[in-house]
């Protein structure tokens, strides 16, 4: 927690949630954060009812600029995923939609340029291959995660998915994903190319933030303004519903485990 606070004190960017103040007692640490009322990324897409390559391109530009800033000050997020991308304000056509990177609980501050990290962390489905391979890794892990997010934004389902975690990790380590024509037929070649540049297993060959921002799909006006089909929104809706259900199940499991441990502790004290 203290590491997270220390990192957040360093961050001042329009697309990153702000930490205003902290209050610490003997037992608790209170973090006063910027109020974000716009909801998660996928919830916003569902609420809008439609989405386009142009909107995805603009979104990516905003987030990648924030990542470029973070890496520039030595901060690697290490847990980028849709639920950690939250809009500042409720949807309103008259106001600019500002999205923020949140949750720096797994973030790492690199004191030296080029310093490698070793801790295995992240979220299954979004974690980079080098992390799963137990290799020293760098800030490129954030770009891999953005590649996964971009893939989902464009087609409505993740590039890597399996109910068996071992198989899921095998897919990620091999970069084993496809772009089925049924879902990718109308997606521009430029968008596909950027996904491929981000989902590159070798981190040395993976696109950097600067390269992403210079990519034709981001900077060259190559992204189509045509809305995706209704089926795209339906797939996002199903994906989001599954994620929320899993989060709820994990919470229940955690509470039950805590309750069992607490009851065992009480029983041992009574004995």
User: d(Cα 101, Cα 8) in Å, to the nearest integer?
Assistant: 11
Contact 172, 132 (CB under 8 A): yes
User: d(Cα 255, Cα 251) in Å, to the nearest integer?
Assistant: 6
Tokens of 44: 């916003």
Annotated active-site residue 103? The verdict is no
DSSP characters over 121-167: -S-TTTS-HHHHTT--B-THHHHHHHHHHHHHHHHSS-SS--SSHHH
Give the angle subtended at the CA of 151 by the CAs of 69 and 195, to the nearest 5°.
Answer: 65
Q: Which of 3, 14, 43, 79 is catalytic?
A: 79
Helix (H) or strand (E) holding 24: strand 19-24
Angle between the N-to-C axes of helices 140-155 and 189-198, in degrees from 0 to 180, rounded to the nearest 10: 150
So which residues are the catalytic ones?
Answer: 79
């Amino acid at each position: 927690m203290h590491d997270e606070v220390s990192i957040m004190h360093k961050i001042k960017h329009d697309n990153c949630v702000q930490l205003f103040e902290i209050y610490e007692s003997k037992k608790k640490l209170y973090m006063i954060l910027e109020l974000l009322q716009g909801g998660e990324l996928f919830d916003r897409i569902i609420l809008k009812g439609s989405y386009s390559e142009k909107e995805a391109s603009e979104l990516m530009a905003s987030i990648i600029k924030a990542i470029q800033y973070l890496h520039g000050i030595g901060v690697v997020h290490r847990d980028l995923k849709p639920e950690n991308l939250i809009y500042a304000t409720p949807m309103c056509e008259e106001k600019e939609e500002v999205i923020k990177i949140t949750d720096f609980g797994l973030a790492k501050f690199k004191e030296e340029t080029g310093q490698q990290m070793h801790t295995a962390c992240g979220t299954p489905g979004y974690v980079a291959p080098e992390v799963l391979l137990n290799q020293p890794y760098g800030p490129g892990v954030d770009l891999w995660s953005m590649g996964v997010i971009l893939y989902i934004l464009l087609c409505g389902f993740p590039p890597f998915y399996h109910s068996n975690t071992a198989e899921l990790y095998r897919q990620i380590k091999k970069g084993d994903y496809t772009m089925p024509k049924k879902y990718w037929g109308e997606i521009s070649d430029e968008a596909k190319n950027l996904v491929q540049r981000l989902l590159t297993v070798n981190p040395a060959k993976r696109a950097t933030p600067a390269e992403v921002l210079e990519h034709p799909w981001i900077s060259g006006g190559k992204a189509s303004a045509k809305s995706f089909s209704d089926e795209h929104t339906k797939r996002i809706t199903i994906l989001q519903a599954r994620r929320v259900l899993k989060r709820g199940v994990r919470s229940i499991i955690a509470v039950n485990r805590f309750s069992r441990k607490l009851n065992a502790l009480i029983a041992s004290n009574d004995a």
